[in-house]
Each structure stands twice: as structure tokens, then as C-alpha cells.
Amino acid sequence: MHELSIVLHIIDIAENEAQKAGAATISEIELAIGKLSTIEPAAFDFAWKQGVKNSMLEQAGRITNYIDGKGRCNLCETEFLMETLHQPCPECGEFFSEILEGKELQIKSLRIEEKIKN
């Protein structure tokens, strides 16, 4: 299940950032996941529950924004919503298009709890 390795990668980046900022724990994380990425939401949710155990994100709330896919036709430059990676242009039927949005996998924001200073 590749979702777990993606989750562990996200946690890695988030913990790194939080530690740099002197955080004790992460209270909230906001993610952006493109609908054209290979992530399957149910599998991702399941992997998340496993992955955050014993991490700084164990108690963190998670906001996940799924971003619609958007492509631009290579032939007629029409921009259109894409449900799948191999969707033809609705104007001319061309199969080759540039993906503008929908493949992202990003941490949009982190909310951290700072350590109590001595």
C-alpha cells in the first residue's frame, strides 16, 4: 500500500518543520491533494491512522483539501476539468494535454504547540 509511505513522508517533513520551529507537538495539519495524484482517499485515511502513531502528529487534526484536476489541450489550448489523467479534450478530442492542477501533494499549513521555555 503506497499510501502509507506517502503518509510517513508527510509526517517526516511536518516533524522536521515543527522541530525547526521549536514545537513540542503539532496540533493541526492542512494538506492539499490533487484528484489526479495516485492517492486513494479511503486508503490514505487508513494509512494516516497507522502512520501518525507515536509521531508529533498523533493528536493533530487534519484538514485535507482535494484539488480538482485541470488540463490544457496541447492542440487547441482549451482548458478543462479532468477526472482522470487520460481524458480527451472536450473540444477536439486530442489526448495529449498539459496537467495544470490536480497532481499536487502539499502541506499547506501546520499549527504547532511551542515548548515551554525554561
Give the footprint of Zn ion on residues 62-81 (CB under 5 A): 73, 75-76, 78
- Determine contact, residues 32/26, Cβ cutoff 8 Å: no
Q: Does 31 bind Zn ion (CB under 5 A)?
A: no
For Zn ion, which residue of 94, 95, 98, 109 counts as binding (CB under 5 A)?
A: 94
Binding piece for Zn ion, criterion CB under 5 A, among 10-18, 30-38, 48-56, 92-100:
92-100
Contacts of 23 (CB under 8 A, 6+ apart): 56, 112, 113, 114, 115
For the chain, what is the largest distance between any 2 Cα atoms, rounded to a whole number of angstroms? Answer: 66
Q: Which residues contact 86 (CB under 8 A, 6 or more apart)?
A: 95
In whole angstroms, how close is the CB of 98 to Zn ion at the nearest point? 11
Residue 45 or residue 96: which is nearer to Zn ion going by CB?
A: 96
Site residues, Zn ion (CB under 5 A): 73, 75-76, 78, 89, 91-92, 94
